[in-house]
A = this chain, B = another copy of it.
Amino acid sequence: MIKVVFFDLDDTIADTTRLAEMARKNAIENMIRHGMPVDFDTAYNELLELINEYGSNFPRHFDYLLRRLDLRYNPKWVAAGVIAYHNTKFAYLREVRHVRKTLLKLREMGLRLGIITDGDPIKQWEKILRLDLDDFFEHVVISDFEGVKKPHPKIFQKALRIFGVKAQEAVMVGDRLYSDIYGAKSVGMHTVWFRYGKYANREEEYREYADHEITDLLDVLKIIEVLNSGKDDSNKKVHADR
């Protein structure tokens, strides 16, 4: 009997990849508009390289961009980048298609809901609150707050303990085969791989850990119905695809 459904946040609940790309492009455009003497492609590619090396949570992207482009430091350009980045992030933050419908339906079906996500706790909460989705979730488990990251079993075990349920009573839905699916499976949860965004065709070496694969979140409802009716034949699906 499934009692709890856990969701990953980025690119499962919040449409983050598309948003980040748009925000970065607008940042570069605004820096150039305020006098940064570089063409768009050079600056944008340099920014992508930088993010690749330093990670997307590095707080000094625009400073470092100027250094990499051999430009003198100019707080005006950095401010122009920051403004455009934030404006875009606030204006274009969207939930993934069918999120709200799915969550609402799951709650109507009596399921309890949680989020298990990596990332900066304040930034992750900011997305949940800005999307007005917090009332759907009983608990949000954020790895940087707990001190352990997905796919480490501890973060999933912690989530199970918080809800007071067994692994086989929980489903994990996420876009990352490695951190979400492999991680949740390793503690014994049911797993649903949401093939969406830039990881839709990546990390396939962990595909065997996905009990189900979906491209529309509403399909979570059917999976739960089947699991709770006792007619689960889901494992066949994954192997049939290979």
Contacts and interface: CB of A to CB of B under 8 A. Distances in A.
Interface of A: 34, 75-76, 78-80, 82-83, 86-87, 90, 121-126, 128-130, 134, 140, 142, 145
A34 B129 contact: yes
Contact of A125 (B79, B126, B145): B79
Contacts of A123: 79
B121 A75 contact: yes
B34 A75 contact: no
Where chain A touches its partner, the secondary structure class is helix
15 contacts: A75-B122, A75-B124, A75-B125, A75-B145, A76-B125, A76-B140, A78-B122, A78-B125, A79-B123, A79-B125, A79-B126, A79-B129, A83-B129, A86-B90, A87-B90
A125 B129 CA distance: 28
A122 B83 CA distance: 10
Given A76-B140, A86-B90, 9 more contacts: A34-B134, A75-B124, A75-B125, A76-B134, A79-B121, A79-B123, A79-B125, A80-B129, A83-B130
5 smallest A-B Cβ distances: which pairs?
A75-B121, A79-B125, A79-B126, A76-B125, A79-B122
A142 B75 contact: yes
A154 to B, nearest CB: 19
Contacts of A80: 125, 129
Contacts of A134: 34, 76
Nearest to A140: B76
Given A82-B122, A122-B82, A129 B76 contact: yes
Contacts of A140: 76
Contacts of A90: 86-87, 90
